[in-house]
Amino acid sequence: MSEWWDYGLADFLLFSPRVYYRLFETMNSVWWIAVLAAFVAGLVAAGLAMRHGHRGNRVILVLLALIWGWAGYGFLWQYYQPINWAVAYILPGFVIEAVLLAVFAARPLPLRFGWRGDLTSCVGAGLLVMAFVIYPFVGLIEGRDLIQAELFGSAADPTALGTLGFVLMARGTWRWLLLPVPLIWCVFASATLWVMDQQVAYVMFVAVWLTIFSGWLDLKNGVTTRRLTEAELATPASLSD
């Protein structure tokens, strides 16, 4: 197997930025209804997640499960996988994430979304803003057309970024289960964009470290490990710390 050690990251860049951004242009043109629907669904989920102690947890999880399923099939399988064979190895992760989100929605697991006002919530909200508002339109600054915008809900990068934000906005013992897939995707995307010499690679990289740091803070403060009390489960409004 030693022959595989000879390869560097740049050897696995198989496509040009032109071809990469054309993927979004084609998808946005062909599937515009689905792309817009997924984006709006994400906005609804984000709105619910930001509301203090709202009871929309299950709705958020169902919407996110659908979004991950769509991003996996619509973008990764149909468009990205043909130009990047490495995607085939990551695609099952999108299925796993969608299933996990669906399981969280279906089971009475102690996972609750809501603004807590701590640093982790701020990072989570920041990642949501980045995923919904900033990331899709960064390309405009670089001279790309609006039709090539990478929208949350369909394009994998902002979907993974936003999902990290959602998870950081949540609390509960099992939420860490939802982190590995978006984290792995962000690392993969960051490496790909970096090799393509795209500055936005740093956004994905920073998001990974902010998430890990915030997760560590929560672990340290007991937010992650402490089970929700019966009272908290019964009264979401009491989730504020």
Select from 9, 14, 88, 99 the one that contacts other proteins (CB under 8 A): 14
82 vs 180 by CB, closer to other proteins: 82
6 vs 230 by CB, closer to other proteins: 6
Q: Which stretch binds other proteins (CB under 8 A): 39-47, 50-58, 75-83, 163-171?
A: 75-83
Instruction: Rule CB under 8 A: say whether 3 interacts with other proteins.
Output: yes
Query: Please, which of residues 18-37 interact with other proteins by CB under 8 A?
Result: 18-19, 22-23, 26
Q: Which stretch binds other proteins (CB under 8 A): 11-19, 50-58, 167-175, 182-190?
A: 11-19
The region, left, alpha or beta by phi > 0 then psi within -120 to 50, assigned to residue 121 is alpha
4 vs 230 by CB, closer to other proteins: 4
Strand partners, 171: 112
Spell out, one character per residue from 82 to 101, where the chain touches other proteins: x when CB under 8 A holds, - when not: xxxx----------------
Give the HSE-up count for residue 188: Cα atoms under 13 Å, Cβ half-sphere.
18
CB of 72 to other proteins, least distance (A): 17
Instruction: Rule CB under 8 A: say whether 224 interacts with other proteins.
Output: no
CB of 24 to other proteins, least distance (A): 11
Q: Which stretch binds other proteins (CB under 8 A): 15-23, 50-58, 135-143, 218-226?
A: 15-23
